[in-house]
Amino acid sequence: MTLWMGQDGLDYSFQGDYKTMWDDTVSALQEVCAHDAGCDIAIEYKPNEPRCYALMPDIGTTLLAIREAGAANLGVTLDFCHVLFADEIPAHSAHLAARHSRILGVHLNDGYGKRDDGLMIGTVHPVQTIELLVELKKSGYDKAIYFDTFPDHGGLDPVEECRTNIIAAKRLMAMADRLTGHAGLDAAIARQDAAISQRIIMQEIYREG
């Protein structure tokens, strides 16, 4: 079960008691998790909207809440747009989630990082999407990957929009498969040699055939 706590936050200074709000939310997480210890519970964080400031706006505060809650069945759902919205690097957030908790769900979409755009996957940040998929493979993630996109904004045919997402996902995942464990890429990353790593990525994205 995924919890997106859009109303857990505030809009004004001197509106909320931060200690009480945090304690109540952690307590609520513990209660939800204890209701059925066999059911995984995931927190899907988002910086704001509908509240101006979310109580858990990023991967850091989310992991802190998970640590304080101390429930074995609590983890993280990563939404690509939300991660961009939080001014984070998706692959880095995935690494932290896997390192300090568990990734229980992934929502693929895309956007410009200013709001929750919900665009088709790989249409704005294809390289970061591939990097996220590589990181997920490295972490051993084997659970569901969802499309969380909004065809209604521009009046797109939702069936065709979904078909495009599927085509894009299959191609990007195939690229991630080929890049995971790529000796040249791993060596370039170890040296922080962006020129070489980007060359390898471009050769993969623009390969013929």
Residue 130 belongs to a domain with what CATH number?
Answer: 3.20.20.150
User: Distance (Å, rounded) from C-alpha 99 to C-alpha 96?
Assistant: 5
Banded model confidence at residue 207, pLDDT cuts 50, 70, 90: confident
Banded model confidence at residue 209, pLDDT cuts 50, 70, 90: low
Overall residue count recorded for the chain in this entry: 209
Looking at residue 202, the DSSP 8-state letter turns out to be H
Question: What does the pLDDT look like over 97-114, one tens digit per residue?
Answer: 999 999 999 999 999 999
Q: Nearest-CA neighbor of 140 among 108, 178, 99?
A: 99
Question: What does the pLDDT look like over 8-52, one tens digit per residue?
Answer: 999 999 999 999 999 999 999 999 999 999 999 999 999 999 999
Domain that holds residue 36: 2-157
Question: What's the pTM?
Answer: 0.95
- Residue 189 included in any domain: no
- Residue 203 included in any domain: no
> Which pLDDT score, from 0 to 100, does residue 40 have?
98
Number of domains in the chain: 1
- CA angle 59/1/149 to nearest 5° reads 70
Q: Are 100 and 70 in contact (CB under 8 A)?
A: no
Q: Which long-range contacts (CB under 8 A, 24 or more apart) does 122-127 make?
A: 122/168, 122/172, 123/168, 125/80, 125/84, 125/90, 126/172, 126/205, 127/201, 127/205
